[in-house]
């Protein structure tokens, strides 16, 4: 088996701390990793919402989310048809998903995920996991500096 590129699938909490990560071939569609990632994260932390973009708008993913006791909030993929808007309370909650986008961006821009110069699944995964550890520590420090009382929550 060989890959021509890789893709990092990252699950973060509301404040941008990485919780789970999987590295796959770049050719694997995001939706194929959703269920394993939901189950992996569910074993680590207790949470209520699965916030996902339109790539994850699939019945089986939503069913799995509900089976785990979560509320799936997914941007709708119209698949060429008219899209029904989210309920206002869901749209408000979905806005928090931007923290996941910021975490991915910081991982790429600041912590080396854009410039991986190793080959092989193990080496690529190790390189990315060092970046994720650094992102976690940096994000935690940012939270502690902004809100010193936060340390009692962690």
In a domain, 32, yes or no: yes
pLDDT of residue 121 exceeding 70:
yes
pLDDT of residue 151 exceeding 60:
no
Provide the pLDDT for residue 150. Answer: 59
In a domain, 1, yes or no: no
In a domain, 62, yes or no: yes
pLDDT bin (cut points 50, 70, 90) of residue 78 is low
In a domain, 135, yes or no: yes
- Domain tally, the chain: 1
Task: Please give the average per-residue pLDDT across 74-96, as a whole number.
Answer: 79
Task: Please give the average per-residue pLDDT across 13-39, as a whole number.
Answer: 90
CATH number of domain containing 86: 3.30.420
Q: First CA to last CA across the chain, in angstroms?
A: 41
d(CA 106, CA 111): 7
Domain range for 45 is 6-152
Task: Please give the average per-residue pLDDT across 64-71, as a whole number.
Answer: 93
d(CA 117, CA 100): 25
pLDDT, tens digit, for every residue of 87-97? 888 888 888 88
d(CA 140, CA 76): 32
- The number of beta carbons lying within 10 Å of the beta carbon of residue 106 is 17
Cβ neighbors of 143 (< 8 A, separation 6 or more) are 15, 150
């Amino acid at each position: 088996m060989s890959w021509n590129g890789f893709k990092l699938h990252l699950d973060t909490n509301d404040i941008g701390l990485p919780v789970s990560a999987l590295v796959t071939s770049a050719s694997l569609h995001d939706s194929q990793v959703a269920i394993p990632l939901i189950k992996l994260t569910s074993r680590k932390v207790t949470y209520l919402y699965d916030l996902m973009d339109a790539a994850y708008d699939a019945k089986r993913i939503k069913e799995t989310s509900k089976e785990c006791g979560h509320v799936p909030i997914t941007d709708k993929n119209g698949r060429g048809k008219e899209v029904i808007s989210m309920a206002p309370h869901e749209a408000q909650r979905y806005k928090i998903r931007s923290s996941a986008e910021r975490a991915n961006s910081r991982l790429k821009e600041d912590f080396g995920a854009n410039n991986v110069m190793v080959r092989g699944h193990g080496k690529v995964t190790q390189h990315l996991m060092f970046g994720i550890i650094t992102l976690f520590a940096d994000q935690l420090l940012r939270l502690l500096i902004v809100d010193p009382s936060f340390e009692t929550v962690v």
